[in-house]
Amino acid sequence: MKERLCIIGGVEAGLTAAAQARRNDPGIEILVFEKTDYISYGLCGLPYFISGAVGDIKDLFLYSPSYFKENRNINVLTGHRVRRIDCAQRKLDVEDQGSPGQVKEFFYDKLIIATGARAIRPSGWPGADLKNIFTLRDLSSAVEMKETIREEKPENAVIVGSGLIGLAMAESFRSLGLRTAVLEKEEQILPLFSRRTSERVREELKNRGVEVLTGARVDGFTGTERVEKVSVNGKSLPADIVLLSIGVVPETDLASSAGIELEPLTRAVKVNRKMAVSVPRIWAAGDCVHSTSVITGKPVYMPLAAITDKQAQIAANNATGKSSLYRGTVGTLIEKVFGLQVARTGLTEKQLLEERIDYVTREVRSSSRARYYPGSEPIGLTLFLETGSKKILGAEMTGKEGVDKRIDVLGLAILQGLRNRDLYDLDMAYTPAYAPSRDILWLASLK
């Protein structure tokens, strides 16, 4: 009998793991269970599909189930929801969505859990179940939102939450001509960033006609049939379509009911550096597990594509007998907010405060290209340095261009434990069209 690897989830981590397992082991049988009808797409592309910037839904798909079958001998079962993991018998109960209630059993030798995350949908808000109130975590919801906008031609969009997906969707709504408001319960938008960066982004949103309300207490939604108004801070805001974007939580129900341990801080599936869970023969990867900060060594929850991909490969390596360790995350992320690039890496200011790490802040300003070169734009950098050692602990950048280009250099500097001073020795690629002769990262080394 061939050994069998089962994988739960076929969006990002699941299929990366499947492909990697096949690369390592041509003989193993691989079965992927995906509860929806769609596989192998990037969640981050959904706002651009809704706006029409990505015109064809097919462009979002990397591979089809038949591609996996024919080219990699991987069986992907869409519309198959795993109902239960039986660790003792190494068995999955799987329901074919086409025949509800009918459960098939699949035995596994190895199992990878890649169940992802789900959007938080607060239960306490009256009217939260009205039509046209969406979350955006899978392709089905994106298709539904796009259809709704096309057919009902809503005029007013309200986004609850100002994280990455919320702000990406603000741009999509505006580009489709909707009046758009963003409601954030905290005192600033983009809670993962410093106040200063947040204000810069707020300014950009304002310039693009997005109404932003911070300190926003949502009381509920009203409407007949579909949502018509959001009640916020005691006032009423028109809303023909609502996106709830107040965060995601790891999808751990299957794992925890099978007796698999969760990590207490993040409430994600607990994994070691091999991406193995607390039960033998099972690994997990992607948005359902935690990551580890390479700086503090502590568990962090960062549901990001770049992390997912890596963890999935490492899980598959270990599942197929190729030892491989996950080092952790630097914490790099970037967002396009209309014409503004907003990026960060390392620890957030909030993490620094929580970890009680002494730090100093350094501000640097420069330009994306030589000042005299057409198209040059101002860019700003905030560095968080360890007091004393001046090791770089975190960084934030904003600008209309050139931020994407520089944030990864800082990410690598942090991964290597460098001080800002160490960037002095790096000669950076200079030509007037792409950088000033004194790059902002070099100026940062002098601070």
* Residues binding a second copy (CB under 8 A): 12, 42, 44-45, 48, 53-54, 59-60, 164, 168, 294, 304-307, 309-310, 327-336, 341, 343, 345, 370-374, 404-409, 411-413, 415-416, 424-435, 437-439, 441-442
Of 65 and 346, the one with the shorter C-beta distance to a second copy is 346
Closest CA to 181 of 157, 214, 162, 207: 157
Nearer CB in complex with a second copy: 49/221: 49
Structural tokens at position 103: 């459960």
Instruction: Name the residue nearer to a second copy (CB basis): 64 or 222.
Output: 64
133, 139, 142, 146: CA torsion to nearest 10: -130
Minimum distance, C-beta of residue 362 to a second copy, in the bound complex (Å): 18
Q: Which is nearer to a second copy, 59 or 152 (CB)?
A: 59
Give residues with Cβ within 8 angstroms of 20, minimum separation 6: 312, 313, 316, 317, 320
Q: Contact 245/121 with Cβ under 8 angstroms?
A: no
Residue 111 CB, shortest distance to a second copy, in Å, is 24
Q: Do 131 and 221 meet the contact criterion of CB atoms below 8 Å apart?
A: no
Question: Where are the strands (E) in 120-193, listed by range?
Answer: 133-134, 156-160, 179-183
Shortest distance (Å) from residue 437 CB to a second copy: 4
* Tokens encoding 344: 């960060």
CB of 122 closer than 8 Å to CB of 128: yes
**Could you give the CA distance from residue 30 to residue 349 in angstroms, rounded to a whole number?**
43
- Tell me the three state secondary structure of residue 294: coil
Residue 438 DSSP class: S
Please state the closest distance from residue 254 (CB atom) to a second copy, in A.
Answer: 25
Q: Which of 279/294 has CB closer to a second copy? A: 294
Residue 83: left (phi > 0), alpha (psi -120 to 50), or beta?
A: alpha
Smallest distance from the beta carbon of 415 to a second copy, in angstroms? 6
Least gap, CB of 131 to a second copy (angstroms): 29
| CB closer to a second copy, 18 vs 213 | 18
Our CA angle for 215, 220, 224, nearest 5°, is 145
Output the smallest distance, CB 316 to a second copy, in A.
Answer: 13
- Residue 43 or 239 having the CB closest to a second copy: 43
Query: How many CB atoms are located within 10 Å of the residue 31 CB?
Result: 20
CB of 378 to a second copy, least distance (A): 16
Q: Which is nearer to a second copy, 265 or 325 (CB)?
A: 325
